[in-house]
Amino acid sequence: MKSTGRWLVHRLIPLAAVGVFIAAHGAILYYLSSHAAVSIAAIAVILMVIMRRGLLGPYSRGSGGGARLVSSKLFHAGN
């Protein structure tokens, strides 16, 4: 009986430790995800304002022609 009880304890302690480890990580991820959602929303708003104001150069909305990777003058210069 003593060996069966010892075996049970040796199996339950690591399982309990793994359970506590997973629960702790779940709690941390839950806490961080609620704060990350606010941070991501703030970054999205900031990027939208920057793009709307035209501060990103040719890749912004205010450039008139949209985002162009190759300028039409440079593209036709070789022809």
- Alpha-carbon gap, residue 53 to 46, rounded angstroms: 11
Q: Enumerate residues 6+ apart whose C-beta is below 8 A from 60.
A: 50, 51, 52, 53, 54
Q: Inform me whether the pLDDT recorded for 14 exceeds 80.
A: yes
- The answer, yes or no, to whether residue 24 has pLDDT greater than 90, is yes
Which pTM value belongs to this model?
A: 0.41
- For the segment 4-17, the average pLDDT, to the nearest whole number, is 85
- Write out pLDDT tens, residues 41-75: 888 888 888 888 877 666 545 555 545 555 555 55
Residue with tokens 């440079």: 74
DSSP string, 19-41: HHHHHHHHHHHHHHHHHHHHHHH
Domain that holds residue 9: 2-77
Number of structural domains in the chain: 1
Q: What is the pLDDT of residue 37?
A: 77
Q: Distance (Å, rounded) from C-alpha 4 to C-alpha 12? A: 12
- Residues 60 and 54: their CA atoms lie apart, in Å, by 5
Residue 23: pLDDT band with limits 50, 70, 90: very high
